[in-house]
Chain A
Amino acid sequence: GNSVTQMEGPVTLSEEAFLTINCTYTATGYPSLFWYVQYPGEGLQLLLKATKADDKGSNKGFEATYRKETTSFHLEKGSVQVSDSAVYFCALRTNAGKSTFGDGTTLTVKP
C-alpha cells in the first residue's frame, strides 16, 4: 500500500534559521505530493503541492521538489519566522482521490 514517512520531530529552531523537513513516500503509480500546515487550534491548510516528477511547489517562502528517483519531497525554507511554528504534514494522493498522510512534524521557532 501507499505510505509516507516524515522526519521525526519535534524540531526547534531559532528565527532566521534554515529549515528542512524530510519526507519520503512509497506508492504505486504516479501520485501527487503535498505539504499541509496545521496551526494551533486550526484545521489543515494546503501549503504547497507538486503533481509530477521534478515539479517544485512553493508558497510563503517554503519549497519542495518532487524527486521520483529518491521518492522524496523534502520541505525547505531559507529563513524561518516565529509565525511558522506549526505542525507540518507531508501527504500523497493517488488518482483514486484518497490521501495518505505522514505522522506530522512539529516545528517551534524561537525568537
Chain B
Amino acid sequence: SAVISQKPSRDICQRGTSLTIQCQVDSQVTMMFWYRQQPGQSLTLIATANQGSEATYESGFVIDKFPISRPNLTFSTLTVSNMSPEDSSIYLCSGLGVSTDTQYFGPGTRLTVL
C-alpha cells in the first residue's frame, strides 16, 4: 500500500496570491492525479501529473492557473495561481499503485480564499 501526505493541510489566502501544495508518496506510484472537491460534492479531476513532463489537464483547467510539477515518482506539487474566492475548495492528491490498481488519496488541503 501507499501513504500519501500533503502540505499544508489547510490555508487561508488573500485574493490574487498563489499557493503551492506539496504531495509526497511513501512508495512509487505509476500515475499521480490532482482533484478538487467542493464541500459536500464529488471529486473533479484537475490534471494528471506526468513525471518529467507537462501535466495533462482536464477540460476547464489550464496550466497558467494550476501549474503542476512531478520531478520524480513520489513527489508532486500543485500551485493555485492568482486565487479568487471561487478557488476555495479541498485539493486532493492521488496516486495509482504500481503492483496493484488501487488508487490512494492524500488527506487533502483545505483552501479558503478571502
Shortest Cβ gap from A100 to chain B (Å): 8
- Main SS of chain A's interface residues? strand
A39-73, CB under 8 A of B: which get 1 and which 0? Answer: 00111111001010000000000000000000000
The docked-state distance in angstroms from the alpha carbon of A98 to that of B31 is 9
Q: Which of B31, B40, B41, B105 contacts A44 (CB 8 A)?
A: B105
- Categorize the interface residue count of chain A: 20 to 34
Shortest Cβ gap from B78 to chain A (Å): 15
A43 adjacent to B107 (CB under 8 Å): yes
How many pairs, one residue from A and one from B, have CB atoms within 8 Å of each other in the complex? 43
A94-111, CB under 8 A of B: which get 1 and which 0? Answer: 000111011110100000
Contacts of A97 in B (CB 8 A): 30-31, 48, 96
B105 adjacent to A45 (CB under 8 Å): yes
Contacts of A102 in B (CB 8 A): 42
- Main SS of chain B's interface residues? strand
Question: Most chain-B CB neighbours within 10 Å: which of A49, A51, A89, A99?
Answer: A99
On whether A101 and B42 interact (CB within 8 A), knowing A43-B4, A43-B108, A44-B92, the answer reads yes
The docked-state distance in angstroms from the alpha carbon of A102 to that of B104 is 17
Within 8 A of B (CB), among A21-44: 32, 34, 36, 41-44
Shortest Cβ gap from A92 to chain B (Å): 11
A43 adjacent to B106 (CB under 8 Å): yes
Q: Which of B's residues lie within 8 Å of A, judged by CB?
A: 4, 30-31, 33, 40-43, 45, 48, 92, 96, 101-108
